[in-house]
Amino acid sequence: MIVTVTPNTSMDMTYFIPSWELSRTLRANRVLESIGGKPTDASYILGEMGIPSLALGFCAGGAGETIKGFLRSRGVTVDFIPVLGQSRRNLIIVVEDVGAQTAITAESLITTEEHLEQLREKYQAALATATCVVLGGTLPKTMRPDFYTEFVGLARERSVPVVLDAVEPNLSAGLRSGPQYAKPNQDELSQFAGFRVSTVDDAYRVGRAMIDRYGTQPIITLGEYGGLAVLNDRAYRIPPLNVQVESAAGAGDAVLAGIAASVTARQPIEEGIRLGFAAATAVVIMPGTAECRKADIDTFLPQIELIPYAPAE
């Protein structure tokens, strides 16, 4: 079974407003509640695909209970550890007249060493039957980046493939243990590189450096420019499909789900890339975070192109 681990679960409240003006009361056209947290979203999307997963991590308060309810509604097995405080509540504002969105997030979930040990025990037990691990997201302020070094390493010791998606310094911490795949977006890749990744060639060169240093193959999401998969002996550009974008929140997490699904099915990674970007397309045409429909994924799947890529000399 696919195991997802989310140390910092969250709820997303998405407000759709017609335009943005300072010093005025703005009225939303729609307000949607969704779950957040990269691996948690991956479990939610896998559930829509009919693929089982076990969701581990921390949750707290009423928000935590709501998150569990969302996941169970999709058939996900949930085994979160209750901790102190509240699972995060993120505010996402979609400004409709310019087609842009921004997110406001705050820390709230609090863990202790005892909580971490409980998660470690559950995770090690789950690894005995795990087919793939999806690990990532931000960390509560009470946890250190070496959490990712340890948890990637525990899976690697048992030869369980890992897909990692995290911001710095958590990304570099996890890479030190050599996960099979990473799924950075453009901003995360720029943080890792130490400079702004502004072209596909930039992304390729940073991705190749990630392979050379850590042995980790990155599947990079580039927003409106689609994606770039940098593999050991080949690379592909994935053009975006021409669809009306409602909300991009959770689209990258759909790529995580696709990769994990193909790894579990022992398919070529190309199949996971196609499935992931088809699911991401299904996500962006829906409002909210990580919402999608299996019928849309099935429609978009044959339209996803993987174009062999080589950088300019």
Q: In the chain, what are the domains? A: 2-20+27-308 (3.40.1190.20)
Interstrand relation of 88-95 and 10-17 (parallel, antiparallel or unpaired): parallel
pLDDT of residue 224: 82
Report whether 34 contacts 14 (CB < 8 A).
yes
Per the CB < 8 A criterion, the answer to whether 3 and 53 are in contact is yes
Q: What is the pLDDT of residue 313?
A: 66
Q: Which residues contact 237 (CB under 8 A, 6 or more apart)?
A: 200, 226, 227, 228, 306, 307, 309
Mean pLDDT of the chain: 94
User: What pLDDT is attached to residue 135?
Assistant: 98
Q: What are phi and psi of 15, to 5 degrees?
A: -105, 125
98: phi then psi, degrees, rounded to nearest 5: -115, -5
**What is the CB neighbour count within 10 angstroms for residue 308?**
8
Phi, psi dihedrals of residue 260, rounded to the nearest 5°? -60, -40
Main-chain phi, psi angles of 14, to 5 degrees = -105, 120
Three-class SS of the chain: CEEEEECCCEEEEEEEECCCCCCCCCCCCEEEEEEECHHHHHHHHHHHHCCCEEEEEEECHHHHHHHHHHHHHCCCEEEEEECECCCEEEEEEEECCCCEEEEECCCCCECCHHHHHHHHHHHHHHHCCCCEEEEECCCCCCCCCHHHHHHHHHHHHCCCCEEEECCCCHHHHHHCCCCCEECCEHHHHHHHHCCCCCCHHHHHHHHHHHHHHHCCEEEEECHHHCEEEECCCCEEEECCCCCCCCCCCCHHHHHHHHHHHHHHCCCCHHHHHHHHHHHHHHHHCCCCCCCCCHHHHHHHHHHCCCEECCCCC
Q: Per-residue confidence of the chain (313 residues) as pLDDT tens digits?
A: 999 999 999 998 889 899 988 888 889 888 889 998 899 999 999 999 999 999 999 999 999 999 999 999 999 999 999 999 989 888 889 888 887 888 888 777 999 999 999 999 999 999 999 999 999 999 999 999 999 999 999 999 999 999 999 999 999 999 999 999 999 999 999 999 999 999 999 999 999 999 999 999 999 999 888 999 999 999 999 999 999 988 888 999 999 999 999 999 999 999 999 999 999 999 999 988 899 999 999 999 999 999 999 887 6
Output the CA torsion sign for 134, 137, 143, 149. positive
